Amino acid sequence: MPNRTLRRRRPDRPRRIAFRVLRAVQVDGAYANLELARALAGAHLEARDAAFVTELVAGTSRLAGTYDAIVAVASGRDQLDPALAEVLRLGAHQLLSMRVPLHAAVGATVDLAAAEVGEKVAGLTNAVLRKVAARDLDAWVAALAQGRDDLDALALRTHHPRWIAQAYRDLLGDEAETALAANNEAPLTTLVVRPGLAGRDELGGEPTPFSPWGARRAGNPAEVAAVAEGRAGVQDEGSQLMVAALAHVPAPAGPWLDLCAGPGGKAALLAGLAIGERTRLLASERQPHRAALVAGALGVYTGEHAPVVIAADGTRPAWPAGFFARVMADVPCTGLGALRRRPEARWRRSPADLTALVPLQRSLLASALDSACPGGVVAYVTCSPHPRETTEVVDAVLSGRDDVTVVNAPAVLGVPDAARGDFVQLWPHRHGTDAMFCALLRVNDQAGRGRR
């Protein structure tokens, strides 16, 4: 009898590339969008194949937890070899969320499993995927939800872990399902000009509805001349609006600070606006390799008020207290507000990450306030709506100080349906942006200076 292993087809390149990107995400902690861009840049695929890889990576990352639950039922196993589990997720996505015919999805995935995991798993892969294909996605979700409470059912329907669904429901009530569902819709790329170096009319596409500096467009951003030349970049409109909030609030004349500047998107916008005010931005980033990214983004600005980039720890400032008129504190966070663009984060993050991040967030906010001059303004920003790293951080830091006044940030920004008390909260389903949070805090003209 001929050896069937010798007659098995080699996996097609798009599926193999998608598998290896997803393994890098799982094994090396890579970001799916960045690893995908790197892989596609070196693959030289035709546009159709590149789009197929993109959907495989993004879609499988987005629904990974749901697919794991389906595969567990279909296989009767709670534990699988990690590489095989990745192959089965890819197969499940093709069967349940893409228009790939059954024979093609199963056959190609079996070939992939045999090549990447081993011939011994080919039969199991075939059997599991045929059981997966016996129901559509809605039927699988309904079956998995049987006997679960309402919160579990919400999490299953919207493809999020329970703890994230809980946070959204606590914040939004009946609106939570719409908000969670919006995290599953891939956004158009949003571009932003470098103020003073490019005009929005150079970006093409559709102007952003709230930011005066951006436009949304399909296609490769590098094909836009202003982007290729560094006079524009890629930045979600929500991030642009965080800069707008800080730039528009009245503040004294003086230098500006970006306390946690990496990788440089907000810093590049701030730098151009600071130059327009005939002042300078200091961009600080603790990690040297990220500081280098910031320097690259800001290198297009030259002249008397060109920005300065340093590698420094924001909790141990390398500058004197009370020196800056405007301070951006875009602190490290869970990234739960950017799940449209980083779909794997919902399964990678856990409540333990909040516990680890909150002390750093509080320390950075306190440092930012100490860095502002009398009358100066601090923007505390996170790409997360979760109360523990937004309102609770602000409340905790301000409870120990009598030298800070909360500014009405929604009134400053002027974006509808963005008020969360005196703070700004953007949402994908309301504003078409990442779920960015912003608190504007003014340091009073008296008392409390130099406090660390």
Instruction: State the 10-residue block means of pLDDT for the chain, 452 residues long.
Output: 57 96 94 92 92 96 97 95 97 97 96 96 97 98 97 98 97 98 95 97 96 94 94 97 98 97 95 97 96 95 96 96 98 96 94 96 98 98 98 96 97 98 98 98 70 33
Q: At 281, is the secondary structure helix, strand, or coil? A: strand
Name residue 5's amino acid. T
Active site residue 383: yes
Report whether the peptide linkage leading into residue 317 is cis, meaning its omega lies within 30 degrees of zero.
Answer: no
Domain 4-139 and domain 234-443 have a common topology: no
216 phi, psi to nearest 5 deg: -105, 135
User: What are the residue ranges spanned by the domains of the chain?
Assistant: 4-139, 147-182, 234-443
Closest by CA to 433, choosing from 301, 298, 339, 367, is: 339
Question: Looking at residue 446, what is its pLDDT?
Answer: 63
Tokens 């079956």 belong to 143
The reply to whether the predicted model has a pTM over 0.85 is yes
425 has which bridge partners? 437
Query: How far is C-alpha 97 from the chain's CA centre?
Result: 22
Question: Looking at residue 269, what is its pLDDT?
Answer: 97
The number of CA neighbours under 13 Å toward the Cβ of 94 is 25
Q: Which CATH superfamily is domain 234-443 in?
A: Vaccinia Virus protein VP39 (3.40.50.150)
Which of 260, 333, 373, 383 is labelled catalytic? 383
Closest by CA to 446, choosing from 374, 378, 377, 383, is: 374
Q: Compute how many other C-beta atoms are within 10 angstroms of the C-beta atom of residue 81.
A: 14
Question: Looking at residue 7, what is its pLDDT?
Answer: 63
- Of the candidate CATH numbers 3.10.450.50, 1.10.490.10, 1.10.940.10, 1.10.1740.110, the domain formed by 4-139 belongs to 1.10.940.10
Question: Looking at residue 452, what is its pLDDT?
Answer: 31
For residue 405, give both structure tokens.
Answer: 């006044």
